[in-house]
Amino acid sequence: MTSLPTAEERSGKKLGLVIDLDTCVGCHACAVSCKEWNTQGYSAPLTDVDAYGSDPLGAWLNRIHTYEVATVDDMPNRTVHFPRSCLHCEEPACVTVCPTGASYKRAEDGIVLVNPDTCIGCKLCSWACPYGAREYDPSHGVMKKCTLCVDRIYNEHLEPEARQPACVLACPAGARHYGDLGDPDSAVSKLVAQRDGYDLLPQSGYKPVNKYLPPRPRRTGVEDGAAAEPKVLEPIAKGDGSLSDRFFAWADQVLTR
Amino acid sequence: MGKAVKIETSPKTWDDIKHTTCYMCACRCGIKVYLKDGTVTYIEGNRDHPVNGGVLCGKGSAGIMQHYSPARLRSPLLRVGPRGSGEFRELEWEEALRLATTWLAQTRNEDPKKLAFFTGRDQSQSLTGFWAIQYGTPNYAAHGGFCSVNMAAAGLYTIGGSFWEFGEPDWENTKYFMLFGVAEEHSSNPLKKQLGKLKERGAKIVSINPVRSGYSAIADEWLGIRPGTDGLFVAALIHELLKSGNVDLDYLQRYANASWLVIDDPEGDEHGLFARDGEDNPLSFDKISQSLKSALLPDIAPALVGEFTLEDGRKAVPAFQLLSQRFLDEGYAPDAVSEHIGISAETVKRIAAELAHTAFKEEISLDIAWTDWAGRTHEKTTGRPVSMHAMRGISAHSNGFHTCRMIHILQVLLGTIDCPGGFRYKPPYPKQTPPWLKPSGKRSGNRLAEPLGGPHLGFPTGPEDLLVNPSGSAQRIDKAFSWEAPLAAHGLMHMVINNAAKADPYPIDVLFLYMANMAWNSSMNVSATLKNLTGTHPDTGEYVIPKVIYSDAYYSETVPYADLILPDTTYLERWDCISMLDRPISEPDSASDAIRHPVVQPDREVRPFQDVLIELGARLGLPEFSNDDGTPTYPGGYPDYLVNHERKPGVGPLTGYRGEDGQSYGVGAPNPEQLDRYIENGCFYQHHLRDEQRFYKHANRDYNDWAVEMGHRMLGDQIIFQLYLEPLQKFRLAAQGKGPDVVPHEHRQRVETYFDPLPIWHMPLEEELAGGEDYPLHAVTQRPMAMYHSWGSQNAWLRQIHGRNWVYVNAGRGEELGIADGDWIWITSAHGKVKAQAKLMDGVNRDTIWTWNAIGKRPGAWNLDPEAPEATKGFLLNHVISELLPERGGYRFSNSDPITGQAAWYDLRVRIEKAAPEEQGKTYPSFEPQKRAAGLRRPPEDVAFKGDKPGGGV
């Protein structure tokens, strides 16, 4: 068993991601960028077993799933793309279950990490995580997971605007946001408030830091947010005769250039 | 406890960062390549770059694995076994170049047209085309004919620009955005980036697409249209807008040929052509002076409807009247089309109402003054904030040219072209409608070994511009610009191997290919293509296509079918140019071009194809590539050419940092330091337009004067949208026997039918000839998100995401057919059958099945395990697509659009049925595994990349 930082020890900072399911197009840009950065940083390497063979299988810290969601209330049947990675829970069972202390939650920013030097690869943490966010690297016998790019966000060798997780910088659709969810005035906290961001599996009590923004209501009319009544354009009423005749009468205007 | 663990949060895993341009797909994003000890360790987007602004797609990030792929060729190869055997001998470059030179010189001396040079997904067409001009063969094109020539041609003939590289929505201001037939990955980063912003801003997005994936999944409204019927949908929208008077008449009379008078003289030779005055100006009827006037005058009030009498007594009517009559027809009413297109009439009517509302009730006005072509200054710039984008789902049908024209005409009717909130041109567009460039290469006698008079590809405006013999037969090997495909502005690369194997219209000596997988996923009917590549003369046993030279960086399926392989580098190892002479990376408000430069050096005997081509040009003594004394013109290869080549005085491949002092833009003397300046600037140059040049470019004096100054246009006059496309009528008249041109018998009815100067919707040709109850379903493809363009199969990371494809079937339809998730099913067309594993989904049109293209691989190709899922479970629909249509009137036409020759991939019709229990588990057809080529090593089993160079293998 590994203990979590106490309330006193915690800084109040809760670094995490806000993922927008409204704009995620499921392109895997975040997943590949994550793999690319993290295969050589803190988590190095993220091994690909049988890389050119019949059953290639590698360790990824972020994966994208695509689902079709049935019609619910006024939301029609839709396709949703769902990126999945560690949520850096406030009460992470993956940490408390760890027999060696290898899994831990940082007091200073809330990031959940695995210490590869003390991880024995027992996989208890992956069983404990209800979100399936941990990946076992068979070639190294240790567990790997999203580090929130802990080796980027504080990296003094990077330009300040680049000190963000690789996935956030790469995301073409702007569907990923990074910041301090412990600060109610942060941009990410405001975004969550404004867009009704939600927790995954709140009933489990792990209090994930990462939030998901639900798809916006789809609109069938041009009025913002409203499903407008079906509309039809009225035919030109002026004049007599066939539709063509009426149209030509309407179009017979003096239009100067 | 672990809490106290001290970790390194500032590691520096690189020692250098170099900027260049991505080439993992066609978007040409700016990238920053991190290097350590000369090894590529990380690739990220360049925040300052005009294309991607810092973001990067999955393919772009996976560039490392592309670069360090075990499928990369290692040295030139000479075939030693039979074609297809994969038996090669490694060559030194000198021997390879000498051999290529011998073959090419012999052909050039005998008959240069016997070289067919087709360059695939080439981003250096201004070089490769120029080389082919100097060689003197008329047989050159890149891959546009099997990609999206319908979009380019229909756009350029109609509005002088088109979607994607030619223009894009005004992302900042548009309020209503329609996507037609845009695959889930198209225009990868730029489109995704802007869709995210549109959603944030609350603009409405409507996607018209048979499949609800990718962009369609996040649209406000997904309309799951039946493939090939988009033209009917757009026609119904136009019908509703006309019927209700929701068209911008003022915009039409100013900027379109709406008022131009069309001769109504059914028996005469000029029926359907524009009435013109003595100076060849088209005529309009001026309502102020009540007389016929040149339609090009700025101070008339031209009639858009009515019937007028010409001086010679013939009748004429405005083009707009003919267009209106066409679309007011009840056959195009929503109620008439809805069942066929699979979208309810109510929805079509509502979309029309939304378009009208947004265009006419939500007009935008910007405080930007601009001056029109006639010198009149407008204090404000007004716009109708409706925008559209269309791509492969429109273009890859045999009715795609007309459908694309209809989409542009819909935009013109709404007054949304190049205005705030609408569709906007990217420099150097717009150009004349169509651009003043005719296809070169017409041969009357046996002029040997001379350069062509101009570029191969152009825009015919009548039968006199075709490349045909006096009998009407084709002069090009792909039959581009013949009666088979008169407006084939990008050639027909997909027909080259088939035609050459039949010696139709003539045999060739050398087939020279670059960067296109023609023995696999870039060809229709793969089995026949392989037979064509291996076919021999019964008498001599010689190959019918005697010599095949191919340049590729990887061991693709096409490599074993070539005789001489000239291995290319990766995009990180070479110079390249994204040129204003070709397809630049401009944005609506700025003109931009870009370069690539070698950020790493090759570790093997490979050379950049462009360097090789320039060297071959010198060895062959081609005029622009060798000096009079026989020395090479560009001894420094491609970078030398990029800096020093001048297409006309002061105009070269790159626009930035010209002039001896490097201070000139666009026109200026070569600057020896030009490439250094580009590298310092992140490998691109961006020239910002002035505010008054930004909008209404088709009629904007300041913009057009600039375009002339830069050499983008010859004259700065107004560009007029062609609602009525007179060149098509010229072809139609010829087919009716009017005029001097001989139209071969088998083409007459077809040309007369499809060369309608007004847009029409017609049933896709395969559906007409082989649809019906036997083949009740459409079958279409798209590329997956992380595999935009298809060079990714050997990529260790990407193949974990998309290592095999499925056939997706509408859930309701699948259940009716007794097909469940995971079943293997037969997909049968009139041409053949393929076996694939099914998945059911709700988000696909009921009459449509679809899959990802170019995932299926031949066993052993790309240096993958022959049991790789790409080969055992992945499949291609190409096997069931015929390159020829079923016979009609004693002739089999190419499976292409009859106007442009665009490959009609998406016309495919099939039926599906569950495979028998013993047939489950593996795809069909199966091919012999491709033998590992000389020099290739067995790939490593595991890859544990940590910034070092991964496994060279054993």
When pLDDT is averaged across residues B912-925 and rounded to a whole number, the result is 96
Domains B12-56 and B765-919 are alike in CATH topology:
no
Distance between CA B216 and CA B843 in Å, rounded? 10
Say yes or no for a CB contact (<8 Å) between B305 and A248: yes
Of B10, B61, B192, the CB nearest to A156: B10
Tens of pLDDT, residue by residue over B45-89, are 999 999 999 999 999 999 999 999 999 999 999 999 999 999 999
Say yes or no for a CB contact (<8 Å) between B842 and A80: no
Q: Is the pLDDT assigned to residue A118 strictly greater than 50?
A: yes
pLDDT score of B893: 95
Lateral strand order in the sheet of B176-180: B221-223, B204-208, B176-180, B386-390
Decide if A2 contacts A96 (C-beta within 8 A): yes
Provide the pLDDT confidence category of residue B744 given band limits of 50, 70 and 90.
very high
Backbone phi and psi for residue B274, each to the nearest 5 degrees, phi listed first: -75, 140
Q: Is the pLDDT assigned to residue B443 strictly greater than 80?
A: no
Neighbours of B82 (CB within 10 A): 12
Decide if A226 contacts B299 (C-beta within 8 A): no
Tens of pLDDT, residue by residue over B109-155, are 999 999 999 998 889 999 999 999 999 999 999 999 998 999 999 99
Neighbours of B299 (CB within 10 A): 12
* B851 or A257, which is more confident: B851
Provide the pLDDT confidence category of residue B432 given band limits of 50, 70 and 90.
very high
Q: Which residues in chain B have Cβ-Cβ distances shorter than 8 Å to A52? A: 70, 794, 796, 863-865, 868, 939-940
Tens of pLDDT, residue by residue over A5-57, are 999 999 999 999 999 999 999 999 999 999 999 999 899 999 999 999 999 99
Q: Is the pLDDT assigned to residue A239 strictly greater than 80?
A: no
Decide if B155 contacts B144 (C-beta within 8 A): no
Q: Is the pLDDT assigned to residue B389 strictly greater than 80?
A: yes
Q: What is the mean pLDDT of chain A?
A: 93
Q: Is the pLDDT assigned to residue A221 strictly greater than 80?
A: no
DSSP B708-766: HHTTS-S------B-SS-HHHHHHHHHHTT-SSPPPPHHHHHHHHHH--SS------HH
Say yes or no for a CB contact (<8 Å) between B195 and A23: yes
Provide the pLDDT confidence category of residue A225 given band limits of 50, 70 and 90.
very low
Residue B591: which H helix or E strand, with range? strand B590-596
pLDDT score of A76: 75
pLDDT score of A41: 86
Decide if B852 contacts B784 (C-beta within 8 A): yes
Cα-based angle B875, B880, B885 (whole degrees, multiple of 5): 155
pLDDT score of B764: 97
Q: What is the mean pLDDT of chain B?
A: 95
pLDDT score of B950: 59
Q: Please report the sign of the dihedral spanned by the C-alpha atoms of residue B663, residue B665, residue B668, residue B671.
A: positive
pLDDT score of B949: 66
pLDDT score of A220: 77
Q: Is the pLDDT assigned to residue A226 strictly greater than 70?
A: no
pLDDT score of A231: 82
Provide the pLDDT confidence category of residue B541 given band limits of 50, 70 and 90.
very high
Q: Please report the sign of the dihedral spanned by the C-alpha atoms of residue B217, residue B221, residue B226, residue B227.
A: negative
Say yes or no for a CB contact (<8 Å) between A233 and B864: no
Decide if A54 contacts B865 (C-beta within 8 A): yes
The nearest alpha carbon in chain B to A54 belongs to B868
Residues 6+ apart with CB under 8 A from B153: B401, B434, B459, B487, B489, B490, B899, B900, B902
Q: Is the pLDDT assigned to residue B790 strictly greater than 70?
A: no
Q: Which residues in chain B have Cβ-Cβ distances shorter than 8 Å to A58? A: 796-797, 800, 943
Say yes or no for a CB contact (<8 Å) between B947 and A40: yes
The pLDDT > 70 percentage for chain B reads 98
Helix B230-243 and helix B400-413: axis angle, to 10°?
Answer: 30
Q: Residue length, chain A? A: 257
Provide the pLDDT confidence category of residue B1 given band limits of 50, 70 and 90.
very low
Tens of pLDDT, residue by residue over B249-296, are 999 999 999 999 999 999 999 999 999 999 999 999 999 999 999 999
Tell me if residue B89 falls in helix, strand or coil: strand
Note if the bond before B112 is cis, omega within 30 degrees: no
Architecture of domain B12-56: Single Sheet (2.20)
Provide the pLDDT confidence category of residue B447 given band limits of 50, 70 and 90.
low
A-proximal residues of B, 290-319, CB under 8 Å: 298-306
Least Cα separation, residue A130 to chain B (angstroms): 22
When pLDDT is averaged across residues B616-637 and rounded to a whole number, the result is 97
Q: Which of A20, A24, A28 is the mutation pick for testing B, counting most B CBs within 10 A?
A: A28
| Residue A235 in tokens | 């035919």
Provide the pLDDT confidence category of residue B185 given band limits of 50, 70 and 90.
confident
Q: Where are the beta strands (DSSP E) in B250-338?
A: 261-264, 283-286, 291-294, 308-309, 315-318
pLDDT score of B787: 82
pLDDT score of B186: 83
pLDDT score of A227: 42
When pLDDT is averaged across residues B337-342 and rounded to a whole number, the result is 98
Provide the pLDDT confidence category of residue B954 given band limits of 50, 70 and 90.
very low
When pLDDT is averaged across residues B887-906 and rounded to a whole number, the result is 94
Tens of pLDDT, residue by residue over B8-38, are 999 999 999 999 999 998 899 999 999 999 9
The structural domains of chain B, with segments of one domain joined by +, span 12-56, 765-919
Of the listed ranges A61-65, A92-96, B304-308, B787-791, the least confidently predicted one is: B787-791
Architecture of domain B765-919: Beta Barrel (2.40)
Decide if B50 contacts B686 (C-beta within 8 A): yes
When pLDDT is averaged across residues B401-428 and rounded to a whole number, the result is 98
Q: Which of A52, A60, A145, A238 is the mutation pick for testing B, counting most B CBs within 10 A?
A: A52
Tens of pLDDT, residue by residue over B801-815, are 999 999 999 999 999
| Residue B66 in tokens | 């592309």
**Residue whose C-alpha is closest to residue A107's, from A10, A6, A179:** A10
Decide if A86 contacts A146 (C-beta within 8 A): yes
Provide the pLDDT confidence category of residue A159 given band limits of 50, 70 and 90.
very high
Q: Which residues in chain B have Cβ-Cβ distances shorter than 8 Å to A257? A: 253-254, 298-302, 374
ipTM field: 0.96
pLDDT score of B946: 84
All structural domains of chain A = 15-213 (3.30.70.20)
Tens of pLDDT, residue by residue over B206-219, are 999 999 999 999 99
Q: Which of A8, A34, A36, A158 is the mutation pick for testing B, counting most B CBs within 10 A?
A: A36
